[in-house]
Chains A and B, each alone.
Chain A
Amino acid sequence: MAINYIYPEYEVVRNYDRCISCRVCERQCANLVHHYDTKRGKMICDESKCVACHRCVALCPTRALKIVKSDHTFKENANWTGEKITNIYRQAESGGVLLASMGTPKNYPVYWDKILINASQVTNPSIDPLREPMETKVFLGHKNDKIVRDQYGRIKCDETPQLELQVPVMFSAMSYGSISYNAHKSLAMASKKLGIYYNTGEGGLHEDFYEYGPNTIVQIASGRFGVHPDYLKAGAALEIKMGQGAKPGIGGHLPGAKIVGDVSKTRMIPEGSDAISPAPHHDIYSIEDLRQLVYTLKEATNYTKPVIVKIAAVHNVSAIASGVARSGADIIAIDGFRGGTGAAPAAIRDNVGIPIELALASVDKRLRDEGIRNDVSLVVGGSIRSSADIVKAIALGADAVYIATSALIALGCHLCRSCHSGRCNWGIATQRPDLVKRLNPEIGSEKLVNLIHAWQHEIKEMMGGMGINSIEALRGNRAMLRGIGLTREELDILGIKHAGE
């Protein structure tokens, strides 16, 4: 019926003066937007299939293509936007839940952009990172509350297992299945070169990547896919996934169509069968139950690896984090509601959870107030977009950050938010061999290394500007931050002053 007709959101503009009908765009587009019309002797396109991923634009040898947002519009209405109207058409047609990918595109406040960083002038000299040593190394894990010495009086450092990071950044959980083999390989190789860690997500660890074990965090989610003793032993740390910022309170579901070949083998479920990770772990209904899983993992690995508990940033996150800190977890990872996902119901992604900045500030304060901040390290994610975001996160109290979307962008992701289709033209969120091979892990890992090195340099510059030469001295140093355009309430929650105060 005509009422279901949805005008394409993007238009493909082709400059026919430049187009040489080489058909690269046709070959590159897994969404089948372009094709060659032999009768008319020219390239034509079906823009209704276009997801604005820019693959064709980037590979067009004559720069004949661009993607523009359509100016086709409904009668303007601030309440009933075109998006709201078309979503109703879609759901009235299918009866299905709206499925979306990546972090919410909605216009929620980004507090990072409303926080400014301090610098020294005159009295406390700034430091030049080019000529003076600057320490960006951090250790994540439970810290003993008192110093223990051996018989020779030397400090014993290895009382509790720690993760050692050369830069306070880790690649956060993305499962093999949600992203490709080559994407995983790029992350693994980069982590090794950078002296940091990547995270398997809940889809198990491909046998080829066991060699990257010392730089791997293995995840355990409710579905326990690909979880067995060798997997636990392979990782440098174990992460229990309780929640994800993009979809707090709901679980994961990798459709059977993506459970093919090695994905099936790595998850240890038959090809074509759905991989269902429900929201709750059905053996965890309390902090005591969580403690049981934490200690099951510690016992299974002989207390040699730190255990991370990952939770989504939700309204009572500080009380929850306080409980988690008492569960025996060594590290708490908090994922903010702008965090990415390979697939989530849009209603959840766009409406559930709270921003990571507020969650972090409130958790850090709560743990300090309760005197248990040093029992755990705090890792935050959920849209860390730049080195400045990292500096602000650390000054708000984080030990390190988790990045995923930024890492994928470094690998070529253009944030078209169509991961759930499985037709990623950049070879990242797909299992189609012809698409996967478009991502070269050697080049991909190099780009990741470049990004983190660039950020590390910027972090050092900003630290130097503040007169701080060790990232440890920046952690929780909220005096280095000022809010801009924030209300008294927001400033109170963030625990910072307003600019000019």
Chain B
Amino acid sequence: MARINAQNQYYKDLNKLIRSCGESDIELDNVMGQRFIACGMKGKNFLIHGVPGNALGAYLDGSSIEVTENAQDAVGDTMNEGRIVIHGSVGDACGYAMRGGRIYIRDCAGYRAGIHMKAYKDKQPLVVIGDAAGSFLGEYQAGGTIIVLGLKQNGKPPVGYFCGTGMHGGKIYLRSDYPPFDLPPQVSCREAQKSDLDDIRVKISEFCSIFNMDKEEIMSKHFLVLEPNSANPYKQLYTNI
């Protein structure tokens, strides 16, 4: 195991050091806003103390990252495989175009979480957000699953405005008593059925065990399922000349 003190290190130097470090388990101390940590990395385990900067784990290709505090924007941008755990909240555009792997956020996510998320065959990305997400959650979502548990929302929809705009694939599960008031026309909302609840139960188990949460208590509340109305939302818009 390697332990690197990130204090006062420029991101380029820090990332160079990480890339040249042969160890598979890497612990970073005093991280403060350094960008692109673990970008595109494969087969490593990171434990990060401090607040990493933007694009943590972008293009991640099968590494595991655990952050003991908050993280900033673009966590797991275009992530391909692996796991990112945040013991706190993340900034905007978390999981942009994510195409595989899992992101677990204990508290909140900013705007545009899970935007452009995609799935293909065995690549089924998952984002679980413990409390709430900002506006534009799952915008243009094309696949994968986003779960927002609203643990401190007392049954209010745990999302901001325009949830799922442009959605044409995948699923969003919201633990909420009633739907967001401004769902766009591309998105349909229904009560979770048994099969959905079973799916949620499986998908939040790892989240619950990491953050020491009571799965049954979480499951005891009401869940809604947001799905796209069509895989071809723009089909009728054109006239050939």
Given the known inter-chain contacts A253-B234, A283-B77, please indicate yes or no for A421 contacting B240, CB distance below 8 A. Answer: yes
Within 8 Å CB of A61, what residues of B? none
- CB atoms of B97 and A97 under 8 A apart: no
Whether B202 sits at the interface, judged by CB under 8 Å, is no
- In contact, B59 and A274 (Cβ under 8 angstroms): no
B241 and A228 contact, CB distance less than 8 A: no
Mark B212-241 against chain A: 1 for CB-CB distance below 8 A, else 0: 000000000000000000011111111111
Chain A, 224-255, CB within 8 A of any chain B CB: 224-225, 227-229, 232, 253, 255
Known interface pairs A228-B61, A229-B80, A256-B232. Does A223 touch B116 (Cβ–Cβ under 8 Å)?
Answer: yes
A255 B232 Cβ-Cβ under 8 A: yes
A99 close to B241 (CB less than 8 A): yes
Which single member of B39, B74, B168 contacts A274 (CB below 8 Å)? B168
- Which of B1-9, B22-30, B139-147, B192-200 sits within the interface? B139-147
- Residues of A within 8 Å of B112, CB to CB, are 282-283
> Is A366 interfacial (CB-CB < 8 Å)?
no
Contacting residue for B78 out of A96, A98, A227, A345, CB 8 A: A227
Looking at the assembled complex, report how far the CB atom of B238 sits from the nearest CB atom of chain A, in whole angstroms. Answer: 4
Q: Which of B39, B92, B96, B116 contacts A300 (CB 8 A)?
A: B39
Residues in B with CB closer than 8 Å to A225 are 118
Interface residue count on the A side (C-beta < 8 Å): 45
Complex: how many Å from CA A90 to CA B241? Answer: 8
Determine whether B55 belongs to the interface, using a CB cutoff of 8 Å to chain A.
yes
A347 to chain B minimum Cβ distance, whole angstroms, is 11
Chain B positions within 8 Å of A286 at CB level:
none
Bound state CA distance, A90 and B97, in angstroms? 37
Whether, in the assembled complex, A133 has its beta carbon less than 8 Å from a beta carbon of chain B, the answer is no
> A223 and B97 in contact (CB under 8 A), knowing A229-B61, A268-B118, A270-B143?
yes
In the complex, identify which listed stretch (A143-151, A179-187, A291-299, A427-435) lies at the interface while the others stay far away: A291-299
**Chain A residues closer than 8 Å to B142, beta-carbon distance:** 269, 273, 276
Q: Is the CB of B99 within 8 A of A228?
A: yes
Q: Does B36 contact A (CB under 8 A)?
A: yes
Say whether A270 contacts B169, CB under 8 Å.
yes
- Taking CB atoms, residues of chain B closer than 8 Å to A93 are 239
B97 to chain A, nearest CB (A): 4
Question: What residues on B are CB-neighbors of A299 within 8 Å?
Answer: 15, 36, 39-40, 55, 58
Instruction: Say yes or no for B93: interface residue by CB 8 A criterion.
Output: yes
Q: Residue among B15, B99, B116 with the most chain A CB within 10 A?
A: B116
Cβ–Cβ contact B239 & A228, under 8 A: no
- Judge whether B73 and A283 touch: CB under 8 Å: yes
Whole-angstrom distance from the CB of A365 to the nearest CB of chain B? 32
CB of A296 within 8 A of CB of B166, answer no
Q: Is A282 touching B239 in the complex (CB atoms < 8 A)?
A: no
User: B139 and A282: CB pair below 8 A?
Assistant: yes
Contact with B along A279-292 (1 / 0, CB 8 A): 00011000000001
Whether the Cβ atoms of A268 and B97 lie closer than 8 Å is no
B19 to chain A, nearest CB (A): 6
A269 with B143: in contact, given A274-B232, A292-B35, A296-B58 (CB under 8 Å)? yes
B97 x A227 contact (CB < 8 A): yes
CB pair B233–A274 under 8 Å, yes or no, is: yes
Q: Kindly provide the distance from the CB of B190 to the nearest chain A CB, expressed in whole angstroms.
A: 20
Q: Which residues of B contact A296 (CB under 8 A)?
A: 36, 39, 55, 58-59, 74, 77
- How far is it, in angstroms, between the C-alpha of A183 and the C-alpha of B96 when the chains are bound? 31
Q: Is B128 an interface residue (CB 8 A)?
A: no
For the complex, what is the distance from the CA of A345 to the CA of B241, rounded to whole Å?
10
Contacts of B118 in A (CB 8 A): 224-225, 268-269
Q: Which B residues lie within 8 Å of A255 (CB)?
A: 232, 234-235
- How many angstroms between the C-alpha atoms of A91 and B116 in the bound complex? 31
Name the residue among B59, B92, B120 with the largest chain A CB count within 10 angstroms.
B59
Instruction: Answer whether residue B54 sits at the interface, using C-beta atoms and an 8 A cutoff.
Output: yes
Knowing A224-B97, A299-B40 touch, does A282 contact B116 (C-beta < 8 A)? yes
Q: Is the CB of B168 within 8 A of A222?
A: no
Determine whether the beta carbon of A229 is less than 8 Å from that of B59. Answer: yes
A420 touches B58 (CB 8 A): no
When distances are taken between beta carbons in the complex, the residues of chain B under 8 Å from A96 are: 236-239
Q: Does B115 contact A (CB under 8 A)?
A: yes
List 17 additional A-B contacts (Cβ < 8 Å) besides A255-B232, A296-B36: A96-B239, A97-B237, A97-B238, A99-B238, A228-B61, A232-B59, A255-B234, A255-B235, A278-B140, A282-B93, A283-B96, A283-B112, A296-B58, A299-B58, A302-B19, A345-B238, A346-B241
Closest 10 CB pairs of A and B: A300-B40, A224-B97, A96-B239, A268-B120, A299-B36, A299-B39, A99-B238, A229-B61, A94-B239, A228-B80
Which A residues lie at the B interface, using CB under 8 A? 87, 90-91, 93-100, 222-225, 227-229, 232, 253, 255-256, 264-265, 268-270, 272-274, 276, 278, 282-283, 292, 295-296, 299-302, 345-346, 420-421
